[in-house]
A and B are shown apart, each in its own frame.
Chain A
Amino acid sequence: MIASSGTGDPATADIYRLKRGTPKTMKVIFAVDDSKYSDYALESVSSRPWPTGTQFRLLSVLELSRQSEEIHEKLVAGVKQLLKTKADMLTTLHPGSQVDTRIMQGSCKEAILQEAGDWGADHIVVGSHGRKGVQKFLLGSVAEGLLGQAHCTVEIVRLKNAKSE
């Protein structure tokens, strides 16, 4: 940040880093689905300068009750592919970070909370209205459920001026 402060003086940058201390490495969960909101969330948040050693976990939840074996396999394969592309994107952007993926079965909100608790996440990133929430007061129902219950910080990413769409 200091590099852009006008001077670009490396000496100042060092002082700045000392003052701020090494930021604690964070564990970040991205809730991913195939909506444009989720794409945008990942894009905008991954563009930030995450420090080396940040751990990302891409989480996708299948909410449907278990289908026939064949359909289920197909679904999982599709989601796996989606997560893989996004994970690759993250790895290219942040070579020093660890990226893993996870697919869960059940309710979205419960799954995200459970994962955040078990893994000890520091930050959860969700897109504003995922596919369920359009009717729900402009805020995704998943995002709203997380707000009051998550033990860590929750970032709700909204397409700017999405409201007017």
Chain B
Amino acid sequence: MKVVVPVQDAKCADTLGAFIRNYPWPTDMEFQVAHIVQPVLVNSFMSLLPAPLTLSIIEERTREGEVIVKRLSDTIKEAFPSARVSEVLIEGDAKSEIVSLLEESDADLVVLGSHVKTAMQGSVSRAVVAHSPCSAMVIPIEQREPKKTKDKLHIIV
């Protein structure tokens, strides 16, 4: 079974790591930990920043991404010594890059974090789940309260 795990930041890496450790995976596993490096969009739209300036920003983001990916892949390797774990860094738009990675790698499952407290309300996970060619698991990154409803629905049986 091939699983792709896109990861955004350190907190995301820890939450996903904890979940993956606990889940009953089948025997033959292959994990691919991915991080998408967001390009500096200002430059592509309006050329406000000369290319050499944005280059260092991209480099910084790539370095950060490498650390995060390493962190998660180490957790997985420790928990499942027999699984194959690979790492990949891609530059581009998170949603489309994750979907095309899933298509290319012929994955069976994608394990995603959902960042609902951000302004975009988990838009990446939503978009990936909607367009992914395979199954998806969505893990809330921030602790959420179980839903409390005032008028309970009727339980028939």
* Chain B contacts for A147, CB-based, 8 A: 114, 122, 125-126, 129, 138
Q: Is B50 positioned at the interface, with any CB of A under 8 Å from its CB?
A: no
* Chain B contacts for A160, CB-based, 8 A: 108, 133-134
Q: Bound complex: CA of A150 vs CA of B145, how far in Å?
A: 8
* Chain A contacts for B82, CB-based, 8 A: 1-2, 4-6
* Chain A contacts for B145, CB-based, 8 A: 151
Q: Per-residue 0/1 for A92-132: is the Cβ within 8 Å of any B Cβ (1 yes, 0 no)?
A: 00000000011111110011011011101000000010000
**Contacts known (A106-B154, A153-B139, A157-B135); A49 close to B114, Cβ less than 8 A:** no
Q: Are A116 and B126 in contact (CB under 8 A)?
A: no
Question: How many interface residues does chain B have, given as a range?
Answer: 35 or more
Q: Per-residue 0/1 for B126-148: is the Cβ within 8 Å of any A Cβ (1 yes, 0 no)?
A: 10011111111111100111111
Q: Is B67 positioned at the interface, with any CB of A under 8 Å from its CB?
A: no
- Contacting B at CB under 8 A, from A113-165, are 113-114, 116-118, 120, 128, 137-139, 143-144, 147-158, 160-161, 163
Q: Is A68 positioned at the interface, with any CB of B under 8 Å from its CB?
A: no
Q: Are B130 and A138 in contact (CB under 8 A)?
A: yes
Q: Are B146 and A104 in contact (CB under 8 A)?
A: no
* Chain A contacts for B156, CB-based, 8 A: 62, 76, 103-105
How many A-B pairs have beta carbons closer than 8 Å: the answer is 136
- Contacting B at CB under 8 A, from A4-54, are 4-6, 16, 19-20, 23-24, 26, 44, 47-51, 54
Q: How far is the CB of A66 from chain B (nearest CB, A)?
A: 9
Query: Given A76-B156, A117-B149, list of 14 further CB < 8 A pairs?
Result: A4-B28, A23-B21, A26-B22, A49-B25, A106-B153, A114-B147, A117-B147, A117-B148, A147-B122, A147-B125, A148-B114, A148-B116, A156-B135, A157-B135
| Interface residue ranges, B against A (CB under 8 Å) | 19, 21-22, 24-29, 78-83, 108, 114, 116, 121-122, 125-126, 129-140, 143-149, 152-157
21 A–B contacts, CB within 8 A, in A order? A1-B26, A2-B81, A4-B28, A4-B82, A16-B81, A50-B24, A80-B157, A104-B153, A106-B153, A107-B153, A110-B149, A114-B147, A117-B148, A120-B146, A138-B131, A144-B126, A148-B114, A150-B140, A153-B137, A158-B133, A158-B135
